[in-house]
Structure 1
Amino acid sequence: MGTLKSILKPIVAAIALAMAIFCSSGAMADEAKLDELVGQLRDADPATAHRLDGEIQLEWSKSGSASADFLLKRGQDAIERGDIDAAIGHFTALVDHAPDFAEGWVSRAGAYYLADLLGPAVLDLESALAINPQHYEAIFGLGAIFEAIEKPVEAYAAYSQVKAIHPHHPDVTEALQRLEPLAKGQEL
């Protein structure tokens, strides 16, 4: 039995190494795809931007883990049912299980926002942006929180960052117009 263990140990190690290389190269390909989609989004016309936004959202939702995908779905279902506490529980399990999955942090931030827990929501959005600095929905979430706590200058800055990434974001132009007098002052 000792001989079998000594033979299997390097084989298992080699398989683990191959899986790590395979998984990381897949992640790099997804990251490259996202970078390409976001680059196209910046220059797209409104109809193309809408399509690209859908593709980007789909890519963001891919965790690479069936368990993480399950927790994301359970949290989303809880939000739809209006069970915010359950959603926070599912999303907390998700970020514990997959801390490098930005969408988990964004989703929990949304649930925290719905529960009026703005401090934890900001922390989660910051975690998401540390993983994916181009996550315009996370930046938009920060803008919404800044607006909710009556910090129009910060909200305007966040929404401006979203507009730079996604010029045709459905809510950004209106938010910028609404906040401009508060953020920049009114002309006399």
Structure 2
Amino acid sequence: MPIWADTSTVQDLLDQLAKPELPNWQMVEDAIWTEWSKSGSPSMDLLLQRGRTAMEEGDFGQALEHFSALVDHAPDFAEGYNMRATAYFNLGLYGPATHDIGTVLSLNPDHFGALTGLGAILEQSQDADRALAAYRAAAAIHPHDPDLKSAIERLEEQVEGIDL
């Protein structure tokens, strides 16, 4: 978990998110992302925002530069690594993305976004068994994400077959 996030708030939000019946799950998810995005430094927040803006504009190389500066200056800030992993993924650099996801998960084991990203990388790499395991781990934390549910269903058919 990012050292700057309010851990009790994040845990309360994760507990809410895990509830099977949660009509406002998007609001809870957004609140989690807000907490995880707190770097504790205006300078680091600026690097995070500039990187995100570059990603929104499709400039993944520029985003990578911002996120690399962020993790260099805030090596315990999980969201910096998560965003850099996303930039690496979008550049087709799965090795560095996977490495950064490992760092995210060592800092914040509940990071469902990083687990989902790992699943996507493994799926792109034709490793359906491990991709399914990553998606299931993410769904154990965030059971409401419809994209995650469909990824699990798709891979279950591929890995486990279809019942006749």
Counterpart for residue 100 of structure 1: 76
Number of aligned residues: 162
- The question of 1:56 aligning with 2:32 is answered yes
Q: CA deviation at 1:51?
A: 1.3
Q: Which has the higher contact order (CA 8 A, sep 6+)?
A: 2
Paired letter, 1:88? L
- The question of 1:170 aligning with 2:146 is answered yes
Q: Which runs of 5+ in 2 are unaligned?
A: none
| Conservation of the 8 A alpha-carbon contact between 1:42 and 1:164 | yes
Q: Which runs of 5+ in 1 are unaligned?
A: 1-26
**Largest Rg, 1 or 2:** 1
Which residue of the other structure, out of 34, 42, 51, is the alignment partner of 2:10? 34
How do 1:139-154 and structure 2 match up within 5 A? 139-154=115-130
Counterpart for residue 120 of structure 1: 96
| Conservation of the 8 A alpha-carbon contact between 2:5 and 2:35 | no
Matches of 2:62 and 2:29 in 1, distance apart? 28
| Conservation of the 8 A alpha-carbon contact between 1:159 and 1:175 | yes
Cα 1:29/1:137, change in 2 over 3 Å:
closer
The percent of aligned pairs where both chains have the same amino acid is: 46
Q: CA deviation at 1:170?
A: 2.7
Q: TM-score, normalised by structure 2?
A: 0.93
Deviation by residue 1:46-69 (Cα, 9 ceiling, x = unmatched): 422111101101111111111110
Cα 1:128/1:29, change in 2 over 3 Å:
closer
Matches of 1:110 and 1:79 in 2, distance apart? 9
| 4+ runs deviating over 6 angstroms | none
Q: TM-score, normalised by structure 1?
A: 0.82
RMSD: 1.5
